[in-house]
Structure 1
Amino acid sequence: MPRPTTPLLSRDRIRVAALAIIDRDGLPGLSMRRLAADLGVQAPSLYSHFPTKDALLDEVCDAIMSAVDVSDFAGTDWRKGIRTWARSYRAALAAHPNVVPFLAGGPARRDSALRVADAVHGGLVRAGWPPKLATMIGASTKYLVLGAAIGSFSRGFEDDVQVYLDRYPNLNQAHRLAEHADEIDQGSFELALDAFLHGLSALHGATT
């Protein structure tokens, strides 16, 4: 029988299938056996492409992080750099919130994450931030983004007003939050980002 002209498996195909499982079932739902079944192959055939599950997850994360925009750190406006980075970072993670716990552990040796960290740190230092503070600003921005991306605050409330009226009188409008979740969550993130940048601006003036 002639060999197929297109390989049955490729790194891209495996990565896409793995992310689909994570999006659907969360990180605990991904196993090499489950992934192989979804791809219609035997699990050992995956290991010629990825030696471990963590190696596969690293490539999944690299693909997600490729959408993060740090180009504005090449300019002179560090505030614009943080804003562009934070917004694109949140959007990339919000599209795949089940991956966030794995990403939260740090860049390790993932090239895409290290390139982002390098661009952010370099841009902040060139703008006059001391290296230690530049590192802390990068970490603080990450904390802000991860918190915003991992879940929706607004969708955590019931739409039944009676849940709140009797015992929580100050939450008498909480039942409306889910209905306006996208607007509230986006606005809350922008509010936090604005406040963060406002505070950093005052600190920058005191340190330069």
Structure 2
Amino acid sequence: MRSRNNAGLNRERIIVEALHIIEGRGLGGLSMRRLGDALEVEAMAVYHHFPKGKEQLFNAIAAYVTTARVVNGLSEDEGPEDEELPAAGTSEEDVERIEELPWEQRITLWAEGYRARLLTYSGALSLLMHRAPRTLAERRTAALLDGALLDAGLTGGDVAATRDALLGYCLGSVGHQVRHAGREDAPSEDEALSRFRFGLRALLRGATS
């Protein structure tokens, strides 16, 4: 039975449950009614948090999935800059800590964290191909990558182009891994991570040579 007591229902809980549905049924299997059933609340309780409906929910899911922790163990306690986006991201303190590392290590830590999050929510990959929500975490990530690339000696438009290449590489690499999952010749996770690191090093060498 659905509960009319919506205490404890928040945007992040809704997003996480929506991702569970997407993982099991695909994007087409997600509806506000089904989401309400899974949360044991009326569908209108979901609309209370996402009054613009599925499009607003999809944008929030994309923001949630693409918010990568830069370093394992760093805090994700971050207030949302936009009320339409979930609370998550890399704090200013986290950025200051990672900026103390060599530039290539900064980028590698970010890339591996981003890859891990994309793999965790791989059912939403197709959604990410059409949505790029603007968040505070996104701008902090851009600043972190740009700072590392400037330290690597890049200048001008090469910084933005390389940042775009890094983001595209992570998304494409995960998409390739997910697409081939289950095949007899699919690499193990250890091998897939090794290949990811090899490609990342090659990209960085090419960009900074």
State the TM-score, normalizing by the size of structure 1.
0.72
Larger Rg over CA atoms = 1
1:14 aligns with 2:14: yes
Q: Percent identity?
A: 31
1:77 aligns with 2:102: yes
User: What secondary structure does 1:35 align onto?
Assistant: helix
User: What secondary structure does 2:188 align onto?
Assistant: helix
Distance 1:75 1:103, change over 3 A: farther
Give the equivalent residue in structure 2 for 1:188: 195
Separation in 1, partners of 2:12, 2:131: 23
2:121 alignment partner, one of 85, 92, 96: 96
Give the equivalent residue in structure 2 for 1:155: 181
Distance 1:22 1:151, change over 3 A: farther
1:137 aligns with 2:138: no
Separation in 2, partners of 1:93, 1:74: 23
Structure 1 stretches lacking a partner, 5+ long? 160-176, 203-208
Instruction: Spell out, residue by residue over 1:113-172, the C-alpha distance to the aligned partner (whole angstroms, 9 max, x if none).
Output: 233123222442355422311111111111111112124265363x4xxxxxxxxxxxxx
Number of equivalences: 180
Give the equivalent residue in structure 2 for 1:58: 59
Check whether the contact 2:107–2:148 (CA below 8 A) recurs between aligned residues.
Answer: no
RMSD over aligned Cα atoms: 2.7
User: What secondary structure does 1:150 align onto?
Assistant: helix
1:108 alignment partner, one of 108, 112, 133: 133
Of structures 1 and 2, the one with the larger relative CO (CA 8 A, separation 6+) is: 2
1:31 aligns with 2:31: yes
Give the equivalent residue in structure 2 for 1:171: none
Instruction: Spell out, residue by residue over 1:10-55, the C-alpha distance to the aligned partner (whole angstroms, 9 max, x if none).
Output: 2232122112112222222222122112122332221111123232
1:49 aligns with 2:75: no
Q: Which amino acid aligns with 1:192?
A: G
1:199 aligns with 2:200: no
Aligned-residue offset at 1:89: 0.8
Separation in 2, partners of 1:32, 1:118: 36
Worse-superposed segment, 86-95 or 116-125? 116-125
Give the equivalent residue in structure 1 for 2:80: none
State the TM-score, normalizing by the size of structure 2.
0.72
